Structure 1
Amino acid sequence: MQEIDFKPKAFLFDLNGTMINDMEYHTMAWHSIMNEDLDANLDYETVKKEMYGKNHEVLTRVFGKNKFSAEEVERLSIEKEKRYQQGYFPHLALIAGLDNFLEKAKQAGILMAIGSAAIPFNIDFVVDGLNIRNYLGAIVSADDVETSKPDPETFFKAAKYLEIAPEDCVVFEDAPKGVESALNANMKCVVLTTTHTIEEFDGYPNILGYINDYNDTKLNALF
Protein backbone atom coordinates (compact mmCIF):
# COMPACT_ATOMS: atom_id res chain seq x y z
CA MET A 1 0.00 0.00 0.00
CA GLN A 2 1.32 3.41 -1.01
CA GLU A 3 1.19 6.59 1.01
CA ILE A 4 -1.19 9.38 0.10
CA ASP A 5 1.51 11.74 -1.03
CA PHE A 6 0.22 13.70 -4.01
CA LYS A 7 -2.41 16.28 -4.83
CA PRO A 8 -4.99 15.07 -7.36
CA LYS A 9 -6.96 17.36 -9.64
CA ALA A 10 -10.10 15.23 -9.61
CA PHE A 11 -11.98 12.74 -7.45
CA LEU A 12 -13.90 9.98 -9.24
CA PHE A 13 -16.45 8.19 -7.10
CA ASP A 14 -18.05 4.86 -7.60
CA LEU A 15 -21.55 5.17 -6.17
CA ASN A 16 -22.86 2.06 -4.44
CA GLY A 17 -20.84 1.18 -1.37
CA THR A 18 -18.64 4.22 -1.93
CA MET A 19 -20.84 7.30 -1.60
CA ILE A 20 -23.73 5.45 0.01
CA ASN A 21 -23.61 2.22 1.96
CA ASP A 22 -26.31 0.37 0.06
CA MET A 23 -24.73 -2.77 -1.40
CA GLU A 24 -26.60 -4.94 1.09
CA TYR A 25 -29.87 -3.73 -0.42
CA HIS A 26 -28.75 -4.49 -3.99
CA THR A 27 -27.73 -7.96 -2.88
CA MET A 28 -31.02 -8.52 -1.07
CA ALA A 29 -32.97 -7.40 -4.14
CA TRP A 30 -31.04 -9.74 -6.44
CA HIS A 31 -31.27 -12.56 -3.89
CA SER A 32 -35.03 -12.10 -3.88
CA ILE A 33 -35.27 -12.06 -7.68
CA MET A 34 -32.99 -15.05 -8.18
CA ASN A 35 -34.59 -17.26 -5.56
CA GLU A 36 -38.23 -16.19 -5.33
CA ASP A 37 -38.75 -15.37 -9.01
CA LEU A 38 -36.19 -17.58 -10.77
CA ASP A 39 -35.88 -20.52 -8.34
CA ALA A 40 -32.06 -20.40 -8.44
CA ASN A 41 -31.63 -21.60 -4.83
CA LEU A 42 -28.55 -19.44 -4.23
CA ASP A 43 -27.35 -18.40 -0.79
CA TYR A 44 -26.71 -14.77 0.10
CA GLU A 45 -22.90 -14.96 -0.08
CA THR A 46 -23.00 -16.52 -3.55
CA VAL A 47 -25.20 -13.70 -4.81
CA LYS A 48 -23.01 -11.09 -3.11
CA LYS A 49 -19.95 -12.21 -5.10
CA GLU A 50 -21.75 -11.32 -8.34
CA MET A 51 -22.62 -7.76 -7.31
CA TYR A 52 -20.68 -5.85 -9.97
CA GLY A 53 -21.30 -4.72 -13.52
CA LYS A 54 -24.53 -4.15 -15.40
CA ASN A 55 -27.71 -6.04 -14.58
CA HIS A 56 -27.59 -8.13 -17.73
CA GLU A 57 -23.98 -9.06 -16.91
CA VAL A 58 -25.03 -10.24 -13.45
CA LEU A 59 -27.74 -12.41 -14.97
CA THR A 60 -25.32 -13.85 -17.54
CA ARG A 61 -22.71 -14.72 -14.91
CA VAL A 62 -25.25 -16.50 -12.75
CA PHE A 63 -27.49 -18.16 -15.33
CA GLY A 64 -25.32 -18.33 -18.48
CA LYS A 65 -25.73 -16.74 -21.89
CA ASN A 66 -29.06 -16.69 -23.69
CA LYS A 67 -31.04 -17.85 -20.67
CA PHE A 68 -33.31 -14.82 -20.90
CA SER A 69 -34.64 -12.77 -23.79
CA ALA A 70 -33.88 -9.05 -23.96
CA GLU A 71 -37.43 -8.38 -22.80
CA GLU A 72 -37.03 -10.71 -19.83
CA VAL A 73 -33.73 -9.09 -18.86
CA GLU A 74 -35.36 -5.66 -18.98
CA ARG A 75 -38.31 -6.83 -16.88
CA LEU A 76 -36.08 -8.49 -14.27
CA SER A 77 -33.80 -5.45 -14.12
CA ILE A 78 -36.67 -3.06 -13.53
CA GLU A 79 -38.16 -5.30 -10.85
CA LYS A 80 -34.78 -5.64 -9.14
CA GLU A 81 -34.30 -1.86 -9.02
CA LYS A 82 -37.81 -1.34 -7.64
CA ARG A 83 -37.11 -3.78 -4.82
CA TYR A 84 -33.72 -2.17 -4.16
CA GLN A 85 -35.13 1.37 -3.95
CA GLN A 86 -38.05 0.26 -1.81
CA GLY A 87 -35.71 -1.45 0.64
CA TYR A 88 -33.04 1.23 0.74
CA PHE A 89 -35.10 4.44 0.64
CA PRO A 90 -35.71 4.61 4.42
CA HIS A 91 -31.92 4.40 4.92
CA LEU A 92 -30.79 6.76 2.11
CA ALA A 93 -27.78 8.71 3.41
CA LEU A 94 -24.25 9.65 2.44
CA ILE A 95 -21.47 7.66 4.05
CA ALA A 96 -20.31 9.45 7.21
CA GLY A 97 -18.18 12.51 6.53
CA LEU A 98 -18.82 12.60 2.78
CA ASP A 99 -20.94 15.76 2.94
CA ASN A 100 -18.05 17.70 4.45
CA PHE A 101 -15.53 15.99 2.16
CA LEU A 102 -17.46 17.04 -0.96
CA GLU A 103 -17.66 20.62 0.23
CA LYS A 104 -13.96 20.69 1.10
CA ALA A 105 -13.06 19.36 -2.34
CA LYS A 106 -15.28 21.94 -4.01
CA GLN A 107 -13.65 24.76 -2.04
CA ALA A 108 -10.21 23.38 -2.98
CA GLY A 109 -11.07 23.44 -6.67
CA ILE A 110 -10.92 19.65 -7.05
CA LEU A 111 -13.30 18.43 -9.74
CA MET A 112 -15.60 15.52 -9.00
CA ALA A 113 -17.53 12.92 -10.95
CA ILE A 114 -19.38 9.66 -10.49
CA GLY A 115 -18.26 6.61 -12.45
CA SER A 116 -20.68 3.81 -11.71
CA ALA A 117 -22.16 0.64 -13.17
CA ALA A 118 -25.52 1.79 -11.82
CA ILE A 119 -28.26 2.77 -14.25
CA PRO A 120 -29.38 6.44 -14.41
CA PHE A 121 -32.62 5.54 -12.61
CA ASN A 122 -30.64 4.60 -9.50
CA ILE A 123 -28.01 7.32 -9.80
CA ASP A 124 -30.70 10.00 -9.99
CA PHE A 125 -32.45 8.37 -7.02
CA VAL A 126 -29.31 8.94 -4.94
CA VAL A 127 -27.91 12.18 -6.36
CA ASP A 128 -31.20 14.07 -6.26
CA GLY A 129 -32.44 12.34 -3.12
CA LEU A 130 -29.34 13.57 -1.29
CA ASN A 131 -29.02 16.88 -3.18
CA ILE A 132 -25.38 16.47 -4.26
CA ARG A 133 -25.65 17.12 -8.00
CA ASN A 134 -24.08 20.57 -7.59
CA TYR A 135 -20.77 18.94 -6.61
CA LEU A 136 -20.51 16.82 -9.75
CA GLY A 137 -18.95 17.86 -13.02
CA ALA A 138 -19.87 14.60 -14.74
CA ILE A 139 -21.76 11.36 -14.24
CA VAL A 140 -20.92 8.16 -16.11
CA SER A 141 -23.53 5.43 -15.75
CA ALA A 142 -24.00 1.90 -17.06
CA ASP A 143 -25.78 3.37 -20.07
CA ASP A 144 -22.71 5.41 -21.04
CA VAL A 145 -20.21 2.57 -21.54
CA GLU A 146 -19.86 -0.48 -23.72
CA THR A 147 -17.90 -2.53 -21.18
CA SER A 148 -18.27 -2.49 -17.40
CA LYS A 149 -15.57 -2.52 -14.76
CA PRO A 150 -12.88 -3.89 -14.55
CA ASP A 151 -12.60 -2.37 -18.02
CA PRO A 152 -11.28 1.21 -17.59
CA GLU A 153 -13.89 2.81 -19.85
CA THR A 154 -16.04 4.13 -17.00
CA PHE A 155 -13.22 6.04 -15.33
CA PHE A 156 -11.58 7.09 -18.60
CA LYS A 157 -14.85 8.73 -19.65
CA ALA A 158 -15.32 10.45 -16.29
CA ALA A 159 -11.81 11.92 -16.51
CA LYS A 160 -12.37 12.94 -20.12
CA TYR A 161 -15.60 14.76 -19.28
CA LEU A 162 -13.80 16.62 -16.50
CA GLU A 163 -10.88 17.34 -18.89
CA ILE A 164 -8.43 15.89 -16.39
CA ALA A 165 -5.62 13.44 -17.23
CA PRO A 166 -6.17 9.93 -15.76
CA GLU A 167 -2.95 10.08 -13.74
CA ASP A 168 -4.25 13.22 -11.98
CA CYS A 169 -7.37 11.46 -10.67
CA VAL A 170 -8.04 9.58 -7.46
CA VAL A 171 -10.77 6.96 -7.57
CA PHE A 172 -12.88 6.05 -4.54
CA GLU A 173 -14.06 2.44 -4.72
CA ASP A 174 -15.41 -0.33 -2.53
CA ALA A 175 -14.97 -3.38 -4.78
CA PRO A 176 -11.93 -5.24 -6.13
CA LYS A 177 -13.26 -5.05 -9.70
CA GLY A 178 -13.55 -1.28 -9.31
CA VAL A 179 -9.99 -1.01 -8.04
CA GLU A 180 -8.89 -3.11 -11.00
CA SER A 181 -10.76 -0.74 -13.30
CA ALA A 182 -8.90 2.20 -11.78
CA LEU A 183 -5.60 0.35 -12.17
CA ASN A 184 -6.39 -0.32 -15.83
CA ALA A 185 -7.04 3.41 -16.22
CA ASN A 186 -3.69 4.30 -14.60
CA MET A 187 -5.45 5.85 -11.62
CA LYS A 188 -4.70 5.62 -7.93
CA CYS A 189 -7.45 4.48 -5.62
CA VAL A 190 -8.76 4.89 -2.08
CA VAL A 191 -10.79 1.91 -0.88
CA LEU A 192 -13.92 2.09 1.28
CA THR A 193 -14.18 -1.01 3.48
CA THR A 194 -17.97 -0.97 3.40
CA THR A 195 -18.44 -4.09 1.29
CA HIS A 196 -15.23 -6.15 1.18
CA THR A 197 -12.41 -6.97 3.59
CA ILE A 198 -8.94 -5.49 3.15
CA GLU A 199 -7.61 -8.97 2.35
CA GLU A 200 -9.80 -9.10 -0.75
CA PHE A 201 -7.77 -6.25 -2.26
CA ASP A 202 -4.38 -7.96 -2.02
CA GLY A 203 -2.20 -7.47 -5.08
CA TYR A 204 -3.48 -4.10 -6.28
CA PRO A 205 -0.51 -1.67 -6.42
CA ASN A 206 -2.65 1.44 -7.03
CA ILE A 207 -4.31 1.51 -3.59
CA LEU A 208 -3.33 4.56 -1.55
CA GLY A 209 -5.16 3.55 1.59
CA TYR A 210 -8.27 2.07 3.19
CA ILE A 211 -10.95 4.04 4.99
CA ASN A 212 -14.15 3.15 6.83
CA ASP A 213 -15.69 6.52 6.02
CA TYR A 214 -14.77 10.04 4.95
CA ASN A 215 -13.99 11.22 8.47
CA ASP A 216 -10.64 9.42 8.21
CA THR A 217 -7.89 11.99 8.73
CA LYS A 218 -5.56 10.39 6.19
CA LEU A 219 -7.73 11.96 3.50
CA ASN A 220 -6.42 15.38 4.51
CA ALA A 221 -3.25 14.60 2.56
CA LEU A 222 -5.21 14.77 -0.69
CA PHE A 223 -5.78 18.52 -0.35
Structure 2
Amino acid sequence: MTTTPLSKAFIFDLNGTMIDDMGFHTDAWHGILTKDLGADLTKEEVKLQMYGKNEELLVRVFGEGRFTNEEMGKISMEKEHRYQEAFRPHLKLIDGLGTFLEEAHRQLIPMAIGSAAITFNVDFILDNLDLRPFIPVAVSANDVQISKPHPETFLKAAEMLGIDPENCIVFEDNPKGVEAALRAGMNSVVLTTMHEEHEFGDLPNILAFVKDYNDPFVRTLLTE
Protein backbone atom coordinates (compact mmCIF):
# COMPACT_ATOMS: atom_id res chain seq x y z
CA MET A 1 0.00 0.00 0.00
CA THR A 2 1.29 3.46 -0.92
CA THR A 3 1.73 5.71 2.10
CA THR A 4 0.75 9.34 2.33
CA PRO A 5 3.80 11.27 3.59
CA LEU A 6 2.11 14.39 4.95
CA SER A 7 -0.94 12.83 6.60
CA LYS A 8 -1.41 12.18 10.30
CA ALA A 9 -2.85 9.12 11.99
CA PHE A 10 -3.69 7.98 15.50
CA ILE A 11 -2.99 4.42 16.64
CA PHE A 12 -4.48 3.30 19.92
CA ASP A 13 -3.45 0.49 22.15
CA LEU A 14 -6.67 -0.91 23.57
CA ASN A 15 -6.59 -2.06 27.17
CA GLY A 16 -5.76 0.75 29.58
CA THR A 17 -5.66 3.21 26.70
CA MET A 18 -9.19 3.28 25.28
CA ILE A 19 -10.88 1.54 28.20
CA ASP A 20 -9.74 1.52 31.80
CA ASP A 21 -9.87 -2.24 32.29
CA MET A 22 -6.37 -3.29 33.29
CA GLY A 23 -7.42 -4.00 36.86
CA PHE A 24 -9.89 -6.56 35.53
CA HIS A 25 -7.16 -8.18 33.43
CA THR A 26 -4.88 -8.25 36.46
CA ASP A 27 -7.55 -9.92 38.59
CA ALA A 28 -8.29 -12.51 35.91
CA TRP A 29 -4.61 -13.33 35.36
CA HIS A 30 -3.87 -13.42 39.09
CA GLY A 31 -6.65 -15.93 39.64
CA ILE A 32 -5.54 -18.12 36.74
CA LEU A 33 -1.83 -18.02 37.56
CA THR A 34 -2.04 -18.46 41.32
CA LYS A 35 -5.25 -20.30 42.17
CA ASP A 36 -5.49 -22.44 39.04
CA LEU A 37 -1.83 -22.94 38.09
CA GLY A 38 -0.02 -22.58 41.42
CA ALA A 39 2.31 -19.66 40.74
CA ASP A 40 3.48 -17.71 43.78
CA LEU A 41 2.88 -14.17 42.54
CA THR A 42 1.39 -11.03 44.01
CA LYS A 43 -0.92 -8.89 41.93
CA GLU A 44 1.89 -6.35 41.49
CA GLU A 45 4.18 -9.10 40.18
CA VAL A 46 1.46 -10.27 37.80
CA LYS A 47 1.02 -6.70 36.57
CA LEU A 48 4.68 -6.55 35.54
CA GLN A 49 4.21 -9.58 33.29
CA MET A 50 1.16 -8.23 31.48
CA TYR A 51 2.52 -7.34 28.08
CA GLY A 52 2.71 -9.18 24.78
CA LYS A 53 0.71 -12.25 23.89
CA ASN A 54 -0.96 -14.42 26.52
CA GLU A 55 1.20 -17.37 25.56
CA GLU A 56 4.33 -15.28 26.03
CA LEU A 57 3.17 -14.31 29.51
CA LEU A 58 2.71 -17.98 30.44
CA VAL A 59 6.22 -18.79 29.21
CA ARG A 60 7.71 -15.87 31.16
CA VAL A 61 6.04 -17.07 34.35
CA PHE A 62 6.42 -20.86 34.02
CA GLY A 63 9.25 -21.32 31.51
CA GLU A 64 9.40 -23.08 28.16
CA GLY A 65 7.74 -26.46 27.89
CA ARG A 66 5.43 -26.28 30.92
CA PHE A 67 2.35 -26.16 28.68
CA THR A 68 1.62 -27.35 25.16
CA ASN A 69 0.38 -24.80 22.64
CA GLU A 70 -3.10 -26.30 22.95
CA GLU A 71 -3.02 -25.97 26.74
CA MET A 72 -1.86 -22.36 26.52
CA GLY A 73 -4.66 -21.62 24.09
CA LYS A 74 -7.24 -23.00 26.51
CA ILE A 75 -5.76 -21.13 29.47
CA SER A 76 -5.74 -17.92 27.44
CA MET A 77 -9.39 -18.21 26.45
CA GLU A 78 -10.45 -19.06 30.01
CA LYS A 79 -8.69 -15.94 31.23
CA GLU A 80 -10.40 -13.77 28.57
CA HIS A 81 -13.84 -15.18 29.37
CA ARG A 82 -13.34 -14.35 33.05
CA TYR A 83 -12.12 -10.86 32.19
CA GLN A 84 -15.06 -10.12 29.88
CA GLU A 85 -17.63 -11.42 32.36
CA ALA A 86 -16.21 -9.21 35.13
CA PHE A 87 -15.66 -6.10 33.00
CA ARG A 88 -18.86 -6.11 30.90
CA PRO A 89 -20.96 -4.15 33.46
CA HIS A 90 -18.25 -1.46 33.56
CA LEU A 91 -17.60 -1.22 29.83
CA LYS A 92 -17.10 2.38 28.72
CA LEU A 93 -14.52 4.56 27.01
CA ILE A 94 -11.97 6.50 29.03
CA ASP A 95 -13.26 10.01 29.75
CA GLY A 96 -13.10 12.33 26.75
CA LEU A 97 -12.25 9.64 24.21
CA GLY A 98 -15.70 9.52 22.60
CA THR A 99 -15.57 13.23 21.77
CA PHE A 100 -11.94 12.93 20.64
CA LEU A 101 -12.79 10.09 18.24
CA GLU A 102 -15.75 11.98 16.80
CA GLU A 103 -13.68 15.10 16.14
CA ALA A 104 -10.75 13.16 14.66
CA HIS A 105 -13.19 11.31 12.42
CA ARG A 106 -14.75 14.62 11.34
CA GLN A 107 -11.28 15.86 10.41
CA LEU A 108 -10.68 12.67 8.39
CA ILE A 109 -7.73 11.63 10.57
CA PRO A 110 -7.16 7.89 10.02
CA MET A 111 -7.31 5.79 13.18
CA ALA A 112 -6.42 2.22 14.11
CA ILE A 113 -6.06 -0.10 17.05
CA GLY A 114 -2.67 -1.72 17.60
CA SER A 115 -3.06 -4.11 20.51
CA ALA A 116 -1.52 -7.20 22.04
CA ALA A 117 -5.05 -8.33 22.86
CA ILE A 118 -6.45 -11.27 20.91
CA THR A 119 -9.12 -10.60 18.28
CA PHE A 120 -11.74 -12.02 20.65
CA ASN A 121 -11.16 -9.09 23.03
CA VAL A 122 -10.71 -6.44 20.34
CA ASP A 123 -14.07 -7.39 18.85
CA PHE A 124 -15.63 -7.33 22.32
CA ILE A 125 -14.70 -3.66 22.66
CA LEU A 126 -15.26 -2.50 19.08
CA ASP A 127 -18.70 -4.08 18.79
CA ASN A 128 -20.08 -3.33 22.26
CA LEU A 129 -19.00 0.32 22.10
CA ASP A 130 -19.88 0.80 18.40
CA LEU A 131 -16.40 1.99 17.48
CA ARG A 132 -16.01 0.48 14.01
CA PRO A 133 -17.26 3.62 12.17
CA PHE A 134 -14.36 5.54 13.74
CA ILE A 135 -11.71 2.82 13.77
CA PRO A 136 -11.85 0.57 10.70
CA VAL A 137 -8.37 -0.91 11.18
CA ALA A 138 -7.43 -3.20 14.07
CA VAL A 139 -4.19 -5.14 14.51
CA SER A 140 -4.41 -7.73 17.28
CA ALA A 141 -2.14 -10.42 18.69
CA ASN A 142 -3.55 -12.78 16.09
CA ASP A 143 -2.25 -10.59 13.27
CA VAL A 144 1.46 -10.43 14.16
CA GLN A 145 4.33 -12.83 14.60
CA ILE A 146 6.13 -10.88 17.34
CA SER A 147 4.30 -8.78 19.91
CA LYS A 148 5.29 -5.59 21.72
CA PRO A 149 7.89 -4.31 22.46
CA HIS A 150 8.65 -5.42 18.88
CA PRO A 151 7.32 -2.72 16.51
CA GLU A 152 5.43 -5.09 14.17
CA THR A 153 2.00 -4.25 15.61
CA PHE A 154 2.31 -0.51 15.04
CA LEU A 155 4.11 -0.80 11.72
CA LYS A 156 1.38 -3.05 10.39
CA ALA A 157 -1.30 -0.63 11.57
CA ALA A 158 0.48 2.26 9.82
CA GLU A 159 0.78 0.22 6.63
CA MET A 160 -2.91 -0.65 6.69
CA LEU A 161 -3.80 3.02 7.20
CA GLY A 162 -1.45 4.09 4.42
CA ILE A 163 0.41 6.54 6.65
CA ASP A 164 4.18 6.83 7.11
CA PRO A 165 5.20 5.60 10.58
CA GLU A 166 6.81 8.92 11.53
CA ASN A 167 3.42 10.61 11.04
CA CYS A 168 1.60 8.26 13.41
CA ILE A 169 0.93 9.15 17.04
CA VAL A 170 0.52 6.17 19.34
CA PHE A 171 -1.64 6.24 22.45
CA GLU A 172 -0.29 3.78 25.02
CA ASP A 173 -0.40 2.96 28.72
CA ASN A 174 2.49 0.49 29.02
CA PRO A 175 6.26 1.07 28.86
CA LYS A 176 6.65 -1.91 26.54
CA GLY A 177 4.09 -0.39 24.20
CA VAL A 178 5.88 2.96 24.19
CA GLU A 179 9.11 1.11 23.44
CA ALA A 180 7.36 -0.60 20.51
CA ALA A 181 6.26 2.81 19.24
CA LEU A 182 9.82 4.13 19.56
CA ARG A 183 11.16 1.19 17.58
CA ALA A 184 8.50 1.86 14.94
CA GLY A 185 9.64 5.48 14.67
CA MET A 186 6.47 6.87 16.26
CA ASN A 187 5.82 9.36 19.03
CA SER A 188 3.52 8.41 21.88
CA VAL A 189 1.03 9.89 24.31
CA VAL A 190 0.89 7.94 27.58
CA LEU A 191 -2.32 7.30 29.52
CA THR A 192 -1.45 6.92 33.21
CA THR A 193 -4.20 4.39 33.89
CA MET A 194 -1.91 1.57 35.02
CA HIS A 195 1.68 2.82 35.17
CA GLU A 196 3.18 5.93 36.74
CA GLU A 197 5.46 8.34 34.88
CA HIS A 198 8.67 7.10 36.52
CA GLU A 199 8.04 3.59 35.15
CA PHE A 200 8.66 4.85 31.60
CA GLY A 201 12.28 5.75 32.31
CA ASP A 202 13.85 7.97 29.69
CA LEU A 203 11.93 6.85 26.61
CA PRO A 204 12.48 9.82 24.28
CA ASN A 205 9.34 9.50 22.15
CA ILE A 206 6.79 10.47 24.81
CA LEU A 207 4.93 13.66 23.92
CA ALA A 208 2.94 13.87 27.14
CA PHE A 209 1.53 11.94 30.09
CA VAL A 210 -2.24 12.37 30.45
CA LYS A 211 -4.93 11.06 32.77
CA ASP A 212 -7.64 10.98 30.10
CA TYR A 213 -8.64 12.50 26.77
CA ASN A 214 -9.95 15.69 28.33
CA ASP A 215 -6.36 16.77 28.91
CA PRO A 216 -5.62 20.05 27.07
CA PHE A 217 -2.58 18.53 25.36
CA VAL A 218 -4.68 15.83 23.72
CA ARG A 219 -6.95 18.48 22.25
CA THR A 220 -3.98 20.17 20.56
CA LEU A 221 -3.41 17.05 18.48
CA LEU A 222 -6.63 17.78 16.62
CA THR A 223 -5.54 21.27 15.60
CA GLU A 224 -1.90 20.73 14.56
Match for residue 128 of structure 1? Answer: 127
CA distance in 2, matches of 1:167, 1:137: 20
1:155 paired with 2:154, answer yes
**Residues in 1 aligned to 2:207 and 2:107: alpha-carbon distance in whole angstroms:** 20
Q: Which amino acid aligns with 1:104?
A: E
- Write the distance in 1 (CA, Å) between the matches of 2:217 and 2:139: 27
Equivalent pair of 1:159/1:166 in contact (CA under 8 Å): yes
What is the one-letter code of the residue matched to 1:25?
F
1:37-48 equivalent positions in 2, closer than 5 A: 37-48=36-47
Cα distance between partner residues in 2 of 1:8 and 1:65: 43
* Counterpart residue identity of residue 91, structure 2: L
Q: Which residue of structure 2 aligns with residue 115 of structure 1?
A: 114
2:11/2:154 contact within 8 Å kept:
yes
Cα displacement string for residues 54-83 of structure 1 (whole angstroms, at most 9, x for unaligned residues): 010000000001110112111101110111
Residues 7, 163 of structure 2: 8 Å contact kept: no
Counterpart amino acid of 2:200? F
The answer as to whether partners of 1:8 and 1:222 remain within 8 angstroms in 2 is no
How many aligned residue pairs are there?
217
CA distance in 1, matches of 2:211, 2:81: 28
Deviations along 1:19-51, whole A, 9 cap, x unmatched?
Answer: 000011111101000111111121111101001
CA apart distance, 1:139: 0.5
Give TM-score scaled by structure 2 length.
Answer: 0.95
Matching residue of 1:95: 94
Runs of 4+ in 1 over 6 A off after TM superposition: none
Secondary structure in structure 1 of the residue aligned to 2:133: helix
What CA distance in whole angstroms lies between the structure 2 residues aligned with 1:208 and 1:102?
19
CA distance in 1 between counterparts of 2:11 and 2:193 reads: 17
Amino acid at match of 1:39: G
Counterpart Cα distance in 2 of 1:220 and 1:94? 17
Identity across matched positions, percent: 57
1:58-207 superposed matches below 5 A: 58-207=57-206
Q: Distance in 2 between matches of 1:158 and 1:121?
A: 18
Query: Per chain length, whose mean CA-contact separation is higher, i.e. which structure has more relative contact order (CA < 8 Å, sep 6+)?
Result: 1
Q: Which residue of 1 aligns with 2:3?
A: none
Amino acid at match of 2:176: K
Q: Secondary structure at the match of 2:208?
A: strand
Q: Distance in 1 between matches of 2:136 and 2:183?
A: 22
1:123-158 per-position Cα deviation (integer Å, ceiling 9, x unaligned):
010110111111013100001000000100000000
Q: CA deviation at 1:8?
A: 6.3
- The one-letter code sitting in structure 2 at the alignment partner of 1:18 is T
Kept after mapping to 2: 8 A contact 1:137/1:162: no
Give the CA deviation at 1:219: 1.4
- Distance, in Å, in 1 between the alignment partners of 2:212 and 2:76 is 30
Unmatched 5+ residue regions in structure 1?
1-6
> What amino acid is aligned across from residue 197 of structure 1 in structure 2?
E
**Displacement, 1:220?**
2.1
Residue 214 (str. 1) matches residue 210 (str. 2): no
TM-score of the superposition, structure 1-length normalised?
Answer: 0.95
2: distance between equivalents of 1:88 and 1:220? 28
